[in-house]
Structure 1
Amino acid sequence: MSSPPSRLKRALHPMPGFVKQALEQRGLMKAYEERPPYQRNDYIGWITRAKTDATQLKRLEQMLDELADGNRYMKMLWRRR
């Protein structure tokens, strides 16, 4: 069974290896995959657009913390439907 086509209107951002590694190390890949496609895409774009490594790491940590908590998205309250 194939996935339904994405309805995202923004360009899709491929997941960099360091993000995948961090998700796997923290056991958060499932939490990441359960988020809506737009959130996953926004997180990756936001992280990779950072101009410095320090900012990328800060943004990555924010994403990981939000996934671990399960109730935030970009510092906003979020609830799974």
Structure 2
Amino acid sequence: MNPYINESNLTREIYPLPDDIHVLLKNYDVLEAYKRRPDFQKNDYIGWIGRAKRKETREKRINQMLTELKEGNKYMNMDYTEK
């Protein structure tokens, strides 16, 4: 379960928030930025990271997510403006 996603907003698979990613979101001081993102974006990030086959790919995706949340202007390498 991902406590930061309102599951009634999504009709597709809901990905649970892994403990290690939750800790990283806190440690990198981006948990609030993550919580402010739309539910589909939070779910997409976790699903995308979870589908990585190699450890290196997973780490790269986590780093991309953390950077995008910190900078606040990107989502999956696309421009993003918080509403």
**What is the TM-score of this pair, normalised by structure 2?**
0.89
Unpaired stretches in structure 2, ≥5 consecutive residues: none
What SS is found at the alignment partner of 1:43? helix
- Alpha carbons 2:7, 2:14 under 8 Å: kept: no
Bigger radius of gyration among the two: 1
Q: Distance in 2 between matches of 1:4 and 1:71?
A: 23
More displaced 10-residue stretch of structure 1: 70-79 or 5-14: 5-14
Pairwise CA distance, 1:6: 2.1
Pairwise CA distance, 1:57: 0.5
4+ long deviations beyond 6 Å = none
Unpaired stretches in structure 1, ≥5 consecutive residues: none
Q: Distance in 1 between matches of 2:6 and 2:62?
A: 28
More displaced 10-residue stretch of structure 1: 49-58 or 3-12: 3-12
> For 1:46, which of 45, 48, 70 is the aligned residue?
48
Cα RMSD for the two superposed structures: 1.5
Percentage of identical aligned residues: 43
Pairwise CA distance, 1:10: 1.4
